[in-house]
Structure 1
């Protein structure tokens, strides 16, 4: 598989050069920089009783299995993270698991101030994980720059920085997985905008970091593959005109946009939207799985119902 990956990469570079793209050359990877090893179809065995992973030319490795593996195992990818942790990613062939129809549809409008607003009147708080971690990351990067590269202290500091980034990624992925699971479990049709996120990042320099931190693209990707397996449908619509005529100061701006997205996804004409208080769902409620079972407070001055 290593040989296959090498020649596949060389072939891909040749194709890019034929198309007139400027590309470099493959670099030699040392032992420390080689981070993945792919066992495809053979060369591995998982002993669930003894909790051992047996790899060809390596031997038996003790493992911790965090959940049952469904379907037929087709391959194993061994991965080492920058912090020095090792993971075995099991690839398995599984069939679809259709969920019972709910008879409900929803439109979703993603944003920067709020992560999303939907047509059922929810506004999900933007967790801003990167902004909350930025101070610690800057301090660790400053500490790392003051150490002699390659020394033991430099390596310790590098691992601390890697763990900070890993925690950031894990927090974001946990939030996105649980939120996408909620919508797939509760709605038959989910309408979203077909956004060109890279173009938005290049155009909006002041909001570029917040757009990337929100990870809208990954959220929609998670929605799509989970919906396909569950027998649900994700409809992508053109974002053109969904916020037309709406003021940035309007507290219902995102909600009205979500209603327009749903109408466009279902192929129906847009209807006037009834104005009323929205439910503000905190990131903590999403992570704890309490998106649909939240307690309401009285409406605040801005007309939004905040959740406990």
Structure 2
């Protein structure tokens, strides 16, 4: 399986200039291939991936700056464009509203993809070498294991990062003989079937006032001025901070579940569908801030690496069905307590849903249970988790 490591890199001024020049050349190539595709479409000509890739050598004559970019990087520009086209086609096939692929403006192309070759990493001395660019310092705070397949250089604001992709063999953890069902939500981020209630960090909401003030100041600033550029940098830095806070929480929580349970059952939610159902903007922001999809993705690859099993179940009736008798007890979203009119079982609404997710995922028969109070786990407790220990209540 492919594992990605993300490290900060520190190019000097000359190297930064070369990186920026390479990015702009790749941006030009991306736009030129897209223009050729649009022209061919108007003429009724259907081009394939290899058709546009074969044009790259002739385009070097048109724009000599392409000769300063490693050939594999130019090929990956073509690959990226076709991947975007295929992604839009797949969305259209699923009856989603789509637009068209846009041309990249100046500063909007920020990735150089060195696939298979053109790079060399000295982990002992912290040096990254990129073909046609040179050497730069890289901070390797976690040793790279496995066979390195690619290095992706990315510009994020004023900083540069290297994403190293390595092929690793799975490293199974010892069995725990435990299974868990997870119900994600907004009131609590997760309520699981063993009675743990994880607090929702609401990272974006905590920084919303500061972000709004910066955006108001940006709207009043003169476009292109030093003040305008400074405010744009501060806004980008704040967004980065919010994303880092969210990722830190999700990484530690997903790691804790993978370490403690052999089988993890989650709902197969259609997140985009939830956003398109006509909820208000506040609901959209809260769903985006929670990042359920990213959490499930982290659970997926961590479970695969650790030899665990992740099961996605149909979310229909997981909230309405009674986990003690299997009867349907309908309730509105505002009702936070499940009370079954048939068997009398009463518990937290989300805890009932998590048990139904576990029952469906494990294909177990419904069995009578005793209600239990939820064990609340705060955001700070999650952030303090280590690899070996977590404040989880298990069976």
Q: Give the alignment's TM-score, normalised by structure 1.
A: 0.88
User: What is the CA–CA distance in structure 1 between the aligned matches of 2:120 and 2:139, rounded to whole Å?
Assistant: 15
Displaced runs of 4+ in structure 1, greater than 6 A?
Answer: 17-22
Change (3 A) 1:14 1:161: closer
Based on CA coordinates, which of the two structures has the bigger radius of gyration? 2
Change (3 A) 1:226 1:153: same
Query: 1:23 Cα deviation (Å)?
Result: 4.7
**Structure 2 partner of 1:292:** 390
Match of 2:130 among 55, 66, 70: 55
1:237 aligns with 2:327: no
Query: 1:256 Cα deviation (Å)?
Result: 1.0
User: What is the CA–CA distance in structure 1 between the aligned matches of 2:356 and 2:260, rounded to whole Å?
Assistant: 20
Match of 2:178 among 87, 99, 104: 104
User: What is the CA–CA distance in structure 2 between the aligned matches of 1:223 and 1:243, rounded to whole Å?
Assistant: 22
The DSSP-based 3-state class of the residue aligned with 2:152 is strand
Change (3 A) 1:65 1:137: same
Say which is worse superposed, 282-291 or 136-145, in terms of deviation: 282-291
User: What is the CA–CA distance in structure 2 between the aligned matches of 1:25 and 1:218, rounded to whole Å?
Assistant: 24
CA contact (8 A) 2:73 2:114 kept: no
The aligned runs of 1:99-138 (5 Å cut-off) are: 99-138=173-212
- Bigger helix share: 2
Match of 1:78 among 137, 149, 153: 153
**Structure 1 partner of 2:377:** 281
**Structure 2 partner of 1:211:** 287
Match of 2:298 among 222, 231, 250: 222
Query: 1:172 Cα deviation (Å)?
Result: 0.6
Q: Tell me, which stretches of 5 or more residues in structure 2 are unaligned?
A: 1-71, 321-328, 338-346
Say which is worse superposed, 278-287 or 243-252, in terms of deviation: 243-252
User: What is the CA–CA distance in structure 1 between the aligned matches of 2:199 and 2:296, rounded to whole Å?
Assistant: 17
The aligned runs of 1:109-188 (5 Å cut-off) are: 109-188=183-262
Q: Tell me, which stretches of 5 or more residues in structure 1 are unaligned?
A: 296-308
CA contact (8 A) 2:180 2:265 kept: yes
Say which is worse superposed, 16-25 or 181-190, in terms of deviation: 16-25
**Structure 2 partner of 1:298:** none
Query: 1:41 Cα deviation (Å)?
Result: 1.4
1:38 aligns with 2:109: no
1:258 aligns with 2:375: no
User: What is the CA–CA distance in structure 2 between the aligned matches of 1:294 and 1:194, rounded to whole Å?
Assistant: 24
**Structure 2 partner of 1:304:** none
Change (3 A) 1:285 1:138: same
The DSSP-based 3-state class of the residue aligned with 2:207 is helix
The DSSP-based 3-state class of the residue aligned with 1:200 is helix
Q: Give the alignment's TM-score, normalised by structure 2.
A: 0.69
Query: 1:212 Cα deviation (Å)?
Result: 1.5
